[in-house]
Each structure stands twice: as structure tokens, then as C-alpha cells.
Amino acid sequence: MENEKYLKDLSEIRNMMSRSSRFISLSGLSGVFAGCYAIIGAVLAKSLLAGRESVYDNFDEVSKLAMNSDLVPQLILIALAVLVLAIGTAIFLTTRKARKNEQKIWDATTKRLVINFFAPLVAGGLFCLVLLQYGLLGLIAPSMLIFYGLALIHGSKYTFADLKSLGYANLVLGLIATQFIGYGIYFWAIGFGVFHIIYGIWMHRKYDRKSAE
């Protein structure tokens, strides 16, 4: 009898510690959507680049040519559209999930997650703009993956710990991509597209479906 009480105490402690420090309404499905947007974006970007395939292999050529064309603004537009759609869907699905579980959407845990996730991400975004400024286009896709990976690893402390594995996967992929300049778009599609979809399905099965039952 005594043991049962102490066991209950322990599970209460664990529950309170995680509920008060981690944001657990993050929707797994939003990962799947983000992945789909990323792949569509990559396909669009690829078709824009298709005519200039030959120059894209050459690091120096591409910077001069691309900077002078309207290609860069178009690519930026695609990337921004993917970002806005992905974040918008994530906010929508996460709010819905929080409401269903009767949890607050904007509390101390959300604030902490947002700050800790976006700090490395914003630094990465600015860094990518600097790469653009110097015409180092080939390094942009790897840098996006690396900084996104770091942001996930950093943010994972404040939400599902599983986010960390996605972070490391993107980080390693980004580092590998630095050795294959010119194929950045493929790595980008794998990291932001395929990884998100796999991870989203896995998270959805692990958390969302269980809580719905």
C-alpha cells in the first residue's frame, strides 16, 4: 500500500516537471505539411534553375550570373513562401491540438520554446543573407540546414525531446552538403522535405493519435 502511494508520488513529480517546463502541444502533422511545402518549393526552384544547370556546377560562375538575373529574388520568394506556409500550418494545427487537450497555447513554456528555437534560426537567416551579399550561393542551402539543425537541438529542451534527433539529422546533412556544392537543392529537399515528413508521421503516431484515443 505504502509503495503504491510513493509510486504515485513519483509519477506526479515527473508529470509536473515535464508539464511545467516543456511545451507539449506541438502537432506532429504540421511536420508532414512543412515537408510537403518544402518539396514543392524545391521542385519549383529546381525548374527555375533547370535552364542554368551548367553554371550551377561552377561555384564562381553561378554567383556572377545569378546575382545579375531575377533568379535570386524568385528563389528568395519561394523560400519565404515555404517558411510562411510551414509556420502558419504549424501554428494552426498546434493551436487546435492545444484546444482539444484543454491546454493553454501561450504560456511560459511556449515563450521559452519560441525564444530558444528562433534565436539560432534568426542568426542563421541573417548569415544566409550575408552569404547572398557576397554571392556565395552554394553555401546557402548547407547553412540553412546547419542552422535549422542547431535551432532544433536548442529548442528540443523546451518541447518533445524527440526534436533533438531531427536536429542532429539536419545538422549532419548540412555539413555533408558543404562538400557537394551545386547539389544544395537536393540536400535541402531531403532535410526540409523528406526528414520533416518522416519525423512528422512518427511524432503523430507516437503522441497525437495516442492522446486522441
Rounded CA-CA distance 183/38 in Å is 16
Q: Does 108 bind other proteins (CB under 8 A)?
A: yes
Closer CB to other proteins, 4 or 70, in the complex: 4
Best CA proximity match to 144, nearest among 193, 108, 111, 109: 193
Shortest reach from residue 163's CB to other proteins, in Å: 18
Q: What residue ranges in 53-207 does DSSP mark as E strands?
A: none
Asked whether the beta carbons of 55 and 61 are under 8 A apart, the reply is yes
The footprint of other proteins on residues 19-78 (CB under 8 A) is: 19-21
In the list 92, 107, 123, 129, the residue contacting other proteins (rule: CB under 8 A) is 107
Closer CB to other proteins, 2 or 70, in the complex: 2
Which DSSP state fits 208?
A: I
Q: Kindly list the distances between the CA atom of residue 100 and the CA atoms of 60, 110, 212, in Å, as whole numbers in the listed order.
A: 53, 17, 9
Q: Does 16 bind other proteins (CB under 8 A)?
A: yes
Site residues, other proteins (CB under 8 A): 2-3, 6-7, 9-10, 12-14, 16-17, 19-21, 104, 107-108
